Amino acid sequence: MPLDLAPVPEELRGLRIAVLVSGGIAAYKIVDLASALTQAGCEVRVAMTPSATRFVGPPSFQGVTGNPVLTGLWPVDGSPEPHVALGDWAQLIVVAPATANVIGRIATGRSDDIVTAIVLAARCPVVVAPAMNDAMWSKRAVQENVEALRDRGVSIVEPESGHLASGHVGAGRLAAASQLLKAMVEAVQSRYDLAGRRVVVTAGGTREPIDPVRFISNYSSGKMGFALAAAAADRGAHVTLVTTASHPAHRGVDVHPVETAQEMLDALGEQLKGADVLVMAAAVGDFRPARTATKKIRREETPRFTLELEPIPDILASIRSDKELAGVFRVGFAAEDSELDAKAVEKMKRKGLHAIVANDISRRDIGFGSDDNAGVMLFADGSRHELEKMTKREMADRILDLVLPKLSGEKGAES
């Protein structure tokens, strides 16, 4: 049966796609799909259930993708957990053909073969294309499993009606490749809504040296900034994280470690060129030592010690006055212990921000070091959005949800 392989849509080009094949006759069609995706510039990795390998040999997939094919859960190529590695790696997963058996096992959270284990370890959108006999497809058990997958956000590409391998005519034939590609694009677009955007995030408390072993800083853990960077990267943005804090970096985030406010400002000057959004989650100090001792200050040499401090320039204010960076949508943070709204609005105006996220540091259950946060997001256009208590990662996504409609259509700069 010839495949109607329409050109691979632009939206899929360059993506890391895991193609998971289960044991149906339509498995042979997926060789063409894997080949077309690879030729369109996608990086394609294939995993097959043991019964899929009885329909199509792994070397066919290896040949068209140029990558080894996973057929079992046991380590290959030194990767201790191939299913986790592939689940982490993939930006899109396609299960095609998906048999009634594999759908049932995905629906019940099984992970006893490489295909179901990868789906369970996935962090990206999953598209499932069922293919089976019409009687099997029509059974309530199968339909309920399909419904369960839909409820959990899996995209289902309905099978077509037509001549089936069993000789029957009915619904159950693997959807046409054009339908599969369409579902893949939709899955990508809904998840990667920041694709093509450049997002710069700052994180952590700045550190101002007193001498080579001591510094002035604050309690900021950097968790909110790291959560924002991770969320933006997961949504397809090109993300730069300028940070004083060091946590494990999220896949795809470009990390620029800095220490002082001046280093942060210098790094931002470079990184913000052509950026769409700056989210200034760092807790930048207000004062720094007027002088930094070049040698460790010793107790016996300085029984009394007075530290003279000078103000640190406002980073957001300098960015505002840089004409080259005028197109960047600027979001600030404000940690306040009272009159949240009033102080945040004043800060937003003073720093020329497009938006500000204010959180209440008098609350002990949120903020510094905590995994949760809560507050309010205010925009220069007067809109106000309550951010009820949630994890910092959830708040990061909420902030991005609110910023996204404010960005201009043109990627690479905002007006």
Do 184 and 127 contact (CB within 8 A), yes or no? yes
Site stretch for ligand CTP (CB under 6 A), options 47-55, 163-171, 332-340, 390-398: 332-340
Q: One symbol per residue from 340 to 379: x for binding ligand CTP (CB under 6 A), - otherwise; what is it?
A: -------x---x----------------------------
**31, 93, 280, 387: residue in contact with ligand CTP (rule CB under 6 A):** 280
Q: What does the alpha-carbon distance between residue 88 and residue 70 come to, in Å, rounded to a whole number?
A: 15
Residue 218 known to be catalytic: yes
Contact window for ligand CTP (CB under 6 A) among 108-116, 267-275, 295-303, 326-334: 326-334
Under 8 Å CB-to-CB from 88, ≥6 apart: which residues?
121, 123, 251
- Looking only at Cα atoms, what is the longest distance across the chain? 95
Residue 396 found at the interface with ligand CTP (CB under 6 A): no
Number of residues that bind ligand CTP (CB under 6 A): 15
| Cβ contacts of 112 within 8 Å, gap of 6 or more | 105
CB of 335 to ligand CTP, least distance (A): 6
Rounded to whole angstroms, the Cα distance separating 285 from 219 reads 11
Q: Identify the DSSP state of 353.
A: -
> What is d(CA 57, CA 52) in angstroms, rounded to the nearest whole number?
8
Helix (H, G, I), strand (E, B) or coil at 22: coil
Q: Write the DSSP symbol of residue 91.
A: S
Find the part of the chain contacting ligand CTP (CB under 6 A) among 115-123, 140-148, 280-288, 383-391: 280-288
Measured from the CB of residue 194, what is the shortest distance to ligand CTP in angstroms?
20
Single out the residue of 126, 335, 377, 396 in contact with ligand CTP (rule: CB under 6 A).
335
- Residue with Cβ nearer ligand CTP (126 or 284): 284
**Contact residue for ligand CTP among 254, 314, 360, 372 (CB under 6 A):** 314
- Draw the binding track, 260-279, toward ligand CTP (x: CB under 6 A; -: no contact): -x------------------
Beta bridge partners of 155: 127
337 scored as a contact of ligand CTP (CB under 6 A): no
Separation between Cα atoms, residue 32 and residue 64, nearest integer Å: 8
Q: Are strands 160-163 and 169-173 parallel, antiparallel or unpaired?
A: antiparallel
The one catalytic residue in 67, 101, 218, 359 is: 218
Give the list of residues 6+ apart from residue 205 with CB closer than 8 angstroms, or none.
217, 218, 219, 220, 222, 244, 245, 282, 283, 284, 285
Residue 334 binding ligand CTP, by CB under 6 A: yes
Q: Give the one residue of 26, 33, 312, 355 binding ligand CTP; rule: CB under 6 A.
A: 312
SS3 163: strand
87 binds ligand CTP per the rule CB under 6 A: no
Question: Which residues does the annotation mark as catalytic?
Answer: 218
Residues in touch with ligand CTP (CB under 6 A): 261, 280, 282, 284, 286, 312, 314-316, 332-335, 347, 351
